[in-house]
Chain A
Amino acid sequence: MSTNSAAVPIAGVRDLVKIFSIKSDKGGAPLQLHAVNQVGFDIQPAETLGLVGESGSGKSTIGRLLVGLIPPTRGHVELFGESITGNDGGKHLSNVRRRLQFVFQDPYGSLNPRMRVDDCIAEPLDIAGGVSRKERADRILELLEIVGLPRSCGDRYPHEFSGGQRQRIGIARALALRPEFIVCDEPVSALDVSMQAQIVNLLLDLQEKFGLSYLFIAHDLAVVRSIARRVAVMYAGSIVEQGPRSEIYRAPRHPYTQALLDAVPRPDPERQRKPTLGGEIPSILDPLPGCAFAMRCPLVTERCRIERPMPREIDSAHLVACHLA
Chain B
Amino acid sequence: MQLVPRQRYRLLRKLARHRSFRIGFIIISIMVLAALLAPIIAQYDPIAMRIRFRFRPPQAAFPFGTDQFGRDVFSRVVYGTRLSLWIGLATALISGLIGAFLGVLSAQYRKFDALLMRVMDALMAVPAILLAIGLTAALGPHTSSVIIALSVAYIPRTARIVRGSALVTRELEFIEAARVAGASGLRIMLRHLLPNAMGPLLVQSTFVFAYAILAEAALSFLGVGPSPPTPSWGNIISEGRDHSVQAWWIMLFPGIAISLATLGMNLLGDGLRDVLDPRLKVET
Direct interface between A and B, CB < 8 A: yes
Q: A257 contacts which chain B residues (CB < 8 A)?
A: none
CB–CB A102/B177 < 8 A? yes
Contact across chains for B1 and A149 when beta carbons are under 8 A apart: yes
Indicate the size class of the contact surface on chain B.
Answer: 20 to 34
* CB contact between A127 and one of B3, B6, B174, B181 (< 8 Å): that residue: B181
Task: Please pick, from A101, A104, A112, A160, the residue contacting B195 in the complex, using a CB distance under 8 A.
Answer: A112
B191 touches A112 (CB 8 A): yes
Residue of B nearest to A64 (CB): B176
Q: A110 contacts which of B174, B182, B191 (Cβ < 8 Å)?
A: B174
The answer to whether residues A113 and B182 also contact, given A127-B187, A160-B3 and a CB cut-off of 8 A, is no
Closest B residue to A159 by CB, please name it: B7
Q: Return the chain A residue nearest B5 by Cβ.
A: A160
Which residues from 5 to 35 on chain B have a C-beta closer than 8 Å to any C-beta of chain A? 6-7
Instruction: Flag whether A106 is at the interface (Cβ < 8 A).
Output: yes
Is B192 an interface residue when CB atoms closer than 8 A count as contact?
A: yes
Which of these, B172, B180, B182, B198, contacts A128 with CB under 8 Å? B182
The A contact surface, by secondary structure, is: loop
Does B178 sit at the interface, judged by CB under 8 A?
A: yes
Whether A267 sits at the interface, judged by CB under 8 Å, is: no
With known contacts A160-B3, A160-B7, A115–B182 Cβ distance under 8 A: no
* Contacting pair A160 B4 (CB below 8 A): yes
Note all chain A residues with C-beta closer than 8 A to B184.
Answer: 127
Complex contact B180–A101 (CB within 8 A): yes
Q: Give which listed residue, B3, B180, B196, contacts A67 with CB less than 8 A.
A: B180
Residue B173, interface by CB 8 Å: yes
A-chain residues with CB within 8 Å of residue B174 when the two chains form the complex: 109-112
B182 and A161 contact, CB distance less than 8 A: no
In the assembled complex, the Cα of A104 lies from the Cα of B183 at a distance in Å of: 16
Contact with A along B44-80 (1 / 0, CB 8 A): 0000000000000000000000000000000000000
A-chain residues with CB within 8 Å of residue B182 when the two chains form the complex: 94, 97, 124, 127-128
Instruction: Say yes or no: B172 contacts A109, CB within 8 Å.
Output: yes
State how many angstroms separate the Cβ of B143 from the closest Cβ of chain A. Answer: 35
CB-based contact B3/A110 at 8 Å: no
The verdict on A110 contacting B173 (CB below 8 Å), with A124-B182, A156-B3, A161-B4 known, is yes
A148 CB contacts on chain B under 8 angstroms: 1
Contact A123 B178 (CB under 8 A): yes
Which chain A residues border B243 with CB–CB below 8 Å? Answer: none
Smallest CB–CB gap between A87 and chain B, Å? 21
Is B179 in contact with chain A by the CB < 8 A criterion?
Answer: yes
Docked CA distance A321–B7 (Å)? 54
- A162 in the interface, Cβ–Cβ < 8 Å? yes
A112 to B181, CA, bound (A): 13
A160 to B4, CA, bound (A): 6
> Which residues of B sit under 8 angstroms from A102, Cβ to Cβ?
177, 180
User: Would you call A127 and B183 a contact (CB within 8 A)?
Assistant: yes
Interface set, chain A 140-186, CB cutoff 8 A to B: 148-150, 153, 156-157, 159-162, 165, 170, 173
Q: Footprint of B on A, CB under 8 Å?
A: 67, 69, 94, 97, 101-102, 104-106, 109-115, 123-124, 127-128, 148-150, 153, 156-157, 159-162, 165, 170, 173
CB pairs A–B below 8 angstroms (5 shown) = A102-B180, A115-B192, A124-B181, A124-B182, A127-B187
A115-B191, A159-B7 given. 8 additional CB < 8 A pairs?
A104-B173, A106-B173, A113-B196, A127-B182, A127-B183, A148-B1, A160-B6, A162-B4
The 5 closest A-B pairs by CB, nearest first: A114-B195, A109-B173, A110-B173, A124-B181, A102-B180
